[in-house]
């Protein structure tokens, strides 16, 4: 088996080039590194093949997102082609496709999809990227691009109930912290992912506390 990621990385770079909402190549590169690190902490024996599958799924995970492309089918076909070049087994290919097609937060609002071990590390790393200082920056970049206000105390925080509602609902970016970001810590799959998410959630809670104190002139 050839563990070369060059073709996969080049494909991801081409797909994500120009994104300004935090789904750029730097994001997937960090997801690959975080996911491999979390897996290595929990599994010190560190199976090289498992790490390779984790890395491939990490680099590919946002390339087929409907936010990033209008042509998901074409992207899937290209990934099939890459997987063939890479000589991945059917089992590995199924694992990678199942992961990248089912790991998103929005896909799991209505039904929980059970991911493979590799998928669980990629999903945890992607969630960690929505937390902490980077998560704060990404949330406001996303909110700005989608014309959402930073905050409006008249718009209530509500519970998310469906994929469509998540994608279409008018909300403030501060509400997004309560509706999604503060819930992620409890959704983590892996022990090392949970620990890292806890630390980064704390950073975000401190930020929102400070934001609201300043908003209400209480600081």
Q: What SS3 class is residue 165?
A: helix
| Cβ proximity to ligand ADP, 148 vs 201, nearer residue | 148
Residue nearest to Ni ion (CB): 126
Of 15, 130, 174, 204, the one binding ligand ADP by CB under 6 A: 130
Cα–Cα distance for residue pair 34/121, rounded to 1 Å: 9
126 binds Ni ion per the rule CB under 5 A: yes
For 2: left if phi > 0, alpha if psi spans -120 to 50, otherwise beta; the answer is beta
For 65: left if phi > 0, alpha if psi spans -120 to 50, otherwise beta; the answer is beta
Which among Ni ion, ligand ADP, none contacts residue 75 (Cβ within 5 to 8 A by kind)?
Answer: none
105 binds ligand ADP per the rule CB under 6 A: yes
118 binds Ni ion per the rule CB under 5 A: no
Site for ligand ADP in 133-152 (CB under 6 A): 135, 138-139, 142-143, 148
| Cβ proximity to ligand ADP, 139 vs 197, nearer residue | 139
Min. distance of Cβ 55 from ligand ADP in angstroms? 18
58 binds ligand ADP per the rule CB under 6 A: no
Distances 67 to 24, 56, 72 between C-alpha atoms, Å: 12, 20, 10
119 binds ligand ADP per the rule CB under 6 A: no
With CA atoms as reference, report the closest residue to 135 among 69, 191, 86, 184.
184
106 binds ligand ADP per the rule CB under 6 A: yes
Min. distance of Cβ 3 from ligand ADP in angstroms? 26
Cβ pair 104, 170 in contact under 8 A: no
Site for ligand ADP in 2-21 (CB under 6 A): none
Cα–Cα distance for residue pair 170/2, rounded to 1 Å: 46
DSSP-assigned states of every residue in 105-117: TGGGTTSPPPPPH
| Cβ proximity to ligand ADP, 50 vs 63, nearer residue | 63
With CA atoms as reference, report the closest residue to 175 among 208, 200, 201.
208
Min. distance of Cβ 138 from ligand ADP in angstroms? 4
Min. distance of Cβ 185 from ligand ADP in angstroms? 14
Could you give phi then psi for residue 130, rounded to 5 degrees?
-90, 0
62 binds Ni ion per the rule CB under 5 A: yes
User: Which positions touch ligand ADP (CB under 6 A)?
Assistant: 22, 104-106, 130, 135, 138-139, 142-143, 148, 171, 173, 176, 181
């Amino acid at each position: 088996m050839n563990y070369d990621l060059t073709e996969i990385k080049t494909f991801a770079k081409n797909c994500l080039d120009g994104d300004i909402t935090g789904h750029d190549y730097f994001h997937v590169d960090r997801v690959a590194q975080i996911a491999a690190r979390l897996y290595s902490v929990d599994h010190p024996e560190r199976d090289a093949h498992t790490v390779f599958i984790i890395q491939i799924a990490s680099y590919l995970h946002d390339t087929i997102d409907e936010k990033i492309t209008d042509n998901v089918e074409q992207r899937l076909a290209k990934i099939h082609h890459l997987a063939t070049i890479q000589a991945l087994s059917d089992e590995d290919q199924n694992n990678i496709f199942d992961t990248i097609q089912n790991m998103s937060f929005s896909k799991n609002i209505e039904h929980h999809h059970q991911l493979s071990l590799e998928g669980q590390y990629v999903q945890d790393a992607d969630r960690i990227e929505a937390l902490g200082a980077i998560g704060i920056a990404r949330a406001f970049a996303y909110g700005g691009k989608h014309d959402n206000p930073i905050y409006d105390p008249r718009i209530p925080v509500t519970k998310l109930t469906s994929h469509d509602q998540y994608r279409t609902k008018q909300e403030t970016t501060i509400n997004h912290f309560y509706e999604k970001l503060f819930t992620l810590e409890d959704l983590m799959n892996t022990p090392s992912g949970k620990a890292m998410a806890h630390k980064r959630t704390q950073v975000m809670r401190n930020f929102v506390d400070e934001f609201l104190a300043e908003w209400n002139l209480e600081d």
